[in-house]
Structure 1
């Protein structure tokens, strides 16, 4: 690179740095000015977001197809549709959720009254992932807006077409006094994380989650970390295996397995696995055809790096469907792959798969399945298919996961009434619906006590005679 080019690059870097810092400062000034506090202003921005989502639908759908090979229908179901429903649910309930909640301050303060008032946090940073780049960028943004905050939205550079489409949506339809988008890669994200915010909301993997948490600690900034992990499935004996297989296949191979709550591995007794495998094969064929490469409903790996990573986890000797022979790196195509006879120390069990590979592992029954789950990090979700209520209760009582689903996979993620998030290694904090409002606001107690009667004289010095005796009895 020539000296002139180096100087131009430095100037460009300085300009870009200045733009990002100016965005953060402008949003903080806007919040400090009270722009985002009025309820009607929040509702207006939610309406603007809904309108923008409708207006930009063709661009967003095309971007999702380019980045992830998503079909129009899948994108409408798992991306745009979910966000639209989230906006509608928040819009419908926000006024009621913001009403003061009364509480009794207790005998010590009587007579007195108390309220919980939800107040905005301030300026927030939302760092979105690439796997559901519309849904997981805009769903947290709904909570930020509803809570009366300003927000910097950082889309993932790994899904560049969707990042550009989101930037256009925000610039065109939302007020820059409320929301601004910063596109870019590691350098931009690093600079953003050096600034002070009132909340950082990150969705992604645990490695970057730790980086975010360390950066947030410099300013004592609270964080929401939506991470992932190896979400297990246990299939008990006695189930309708045709329906079970269909639900597992849908949950696993939607978005080519690139879903934080996708079933990561499946456990069952050997006899159940043997009976289940033909149904799994049939379900794949029913949903994606005999050649999923030709299916309009089957996606692609986001890039060749992730293609290579997941391809390396496949042991063709254990593949009962799919495998490496049908894979196409140029197209980023990995077929739906099911591995049987997998051991617990196989490479595919050493990390979150995040791709279209489902390992099957034989266990002795529910007790071993629970022990295996508890032997690893707490998963983002766990799935159980059992006809026995006592087994369901055993999984509730004896395992810990961000959520626990019986009889289905994946679908619960779209619920606006269920708080969603991880526990332990799989994440910190929850959102969706009311939980989104709660995480993007501070529940401030407000206590009011009249000056007369002056009951607080009872607890103020000097402590003598009858007062000391009474206090001794009250606080013994």
Structure 2
């Protein structure tokens, strides 16, 4: 038996003791997690700067602050979430009462990516702890400085029989983690290609899976939009973390009547936010490694760059870049960009919008900028997507009362707040009945009772 298998079996044994089921235990673990995060807050700031050039304010908004807020919500709402929920009872089961009971799944595996290495590992962890599970955590090895700090946070706060931190190269660690142990749930955030591998491995043991993937999230700007506001909000999100965000606007569809003015505002906003030399900006990040740097350079090749395009291999820097009217068959319009490149495409008709979006169906997010409520409502219903915003981008992710997740190629399942608790729980339907009255109608012989059954059922 390998050391890893021994640890995983120890987790199963620990879960089977029932210790994790009480609300007091779960709350204590959440408080320990909070305390450990706060202890290493400055170390996380430094690590995320080293890995992705994130400033401490951005780290707070998009990483540590979000997780601490999630912990606060779980601590406040946990008792309510755990309570059996009364639901209506059908006529045939009266005078019984019906309930939903939430129970922990067991031992769950969470696999996180590198772009928000702390938040995307610890946000689902909060839900898994709140739901009463034991958890295996596989961080991304690409954000190596952050990986080390997260290991200290987990190992100081928890017994490995309860929360096991399993760092290492994904290509070797994921098979080791998944091939020799049956989890009760696997939660994966990352690329669609790897998500398919995770799904296949989980299917072998009928393990349920949550996949938080990506795709090409479109941003529609109509003639009814406030162009200045749209430019500010799109640029603010698109170039956060140097564009390495699964819900960043991947490309913009702008009506031709406003496209020229909108591009002028985009350029003006980039300069206002990041200056004439974005490489020196306090607010602009870096590409995670050379592999992704050269991938993004290749996406820019032979494109009409109308702003930006500068790059520095040594600093892993690619400037905020606008690409005008790329071919629909160009790699930049067929692959998820995941970087600071923003294609802008003009459209005339609604058919052009739907045709473009359908080339990459079921995006993780969809954003529409318009001052016309009916127009917004129509497109929200017309386009299949995971979640999105009207007159904003990505900010739906910040609302823990909204489920976050994709559909189709952009993922399956959802989480955040109570939705995380539900993802990591099994819901049991329970009917409670009294012994009186004991109605003879339900018992044999059933002959001649069909008409009555039709009326009741």
Residue number in structure 1 paired with 2:177: 192
**Alignment partners' CA distance in 1, 2:431 and 2:456:** 22
Residue number in structure 2 paired with 1:292: 278
1:133, 1:162 within 8 Å by CA — same for their partners in 2?
yes
**Alignment partners' CA distance in 1, 2:455 and 2:223:** 61
Show the 5 A alignment for 1:54-69: 54-69=38-53
Residue number in structure 2 paired with 1:44: 28
Show the 5 A alignment for 1:306-325: 306-315=292-301, 318-323=304-309
**Alignment partners' CA distance in 1, 2:325 and 2:53:** 31
Residue number in structure 2 paired with 1:167: 151
**Alignment partners' CA distance in 1, 2:333 and 2:94:** 59
- The answer as to 2:267 corresponding to 1:281 is yes
Q: Deviations over 1:168-221 (max 9, x none)?
A: 100012343421100111211111111210100000011111111111111111
Show the 5 A alignment for 1:236-385: 236-315=222-301, 318-323=304-309, 326-385=310-369
Residue segments in structure 1 that go unaligned for 5+ positions in a row:
1-16
2:334, 2:360 within 8 Å by CA — same for their partners in 1?
no
Residue number in structure 2 paired with 1:221: 207
Residue number in structure 1 paired with 2:445: 462
How many Å apart are 1:472 and its aligned residue?
Answer: 6.2
Residue number in structure 2 paired with 1:10: none
- Number of matched residues? 455
SS in 2 for 1:309: helix
How many Å apart are 1:18 and its aligned residue?
Answer: 2.0
Residue number in structure 1 paired with 2:90: 106
**Alignment partners' CA distance in 1, 2:427 and 2:41:** 36
SS in 2 for 1:36: helix
**Alignment partners' CA distance in 2, 1:281 and 1:82:** 30
How many Å apart are 1:418 and its aligned residue?
Answer: 1.1
Show the 5 A alignment for 1:90-239: 90-185=74-169, 186-194=171-179, 195-239=181-225
1:459, 1:471 within 8 Å by CA — same for their partners in 2?
no
Normalising by structure 2, we get a TM-score of 0.96
**Alignment partners' CA distance in 2, 1:131 and 1:38:** 34
SS in 2 for 1:338: strand
**Alignment partners' CA distance in 1, 2:228 and 2:456:** 65
**Alignment partners' CA distance in 2, 1:313 and 1:75:** 28
**Alignment partners' CA distance in 1, 2:436 and 2:69:** 50
SS in 1 for 2:228: helix
Corresponding residue to 1:79 among 63, 69, 79: 63
How many Å apart are 1:377 and its aligned residue?
Answer: 1.6
1:45, 1:175 within 8 Å by CA — same for their partners in 2?
no
**Alignment partners' CA distance in 2, 1:381 and 1:460:** 53
In structure 2, do the counterparts of structure 1 residues 180 and 461 end up closer, same or farther at CA, with 3 Å as the change threshold? same
**Alignment partners' CA distance in 1, 2:449 and 2:337:** 67
Superposed CA RMSD in Å reads: 1.6
Normalising by structure 1, we get a TM-score of 0.92
**Alignment partners' CA distance in 2, 1:243 and 1:467:** 67
| Regions of 4+ moved over 3 Å | 466-475
How many Å apart are 1:397 and its aligned residue?
Answer: 1.7
Residue number in structure 2 paired with 1:8: none
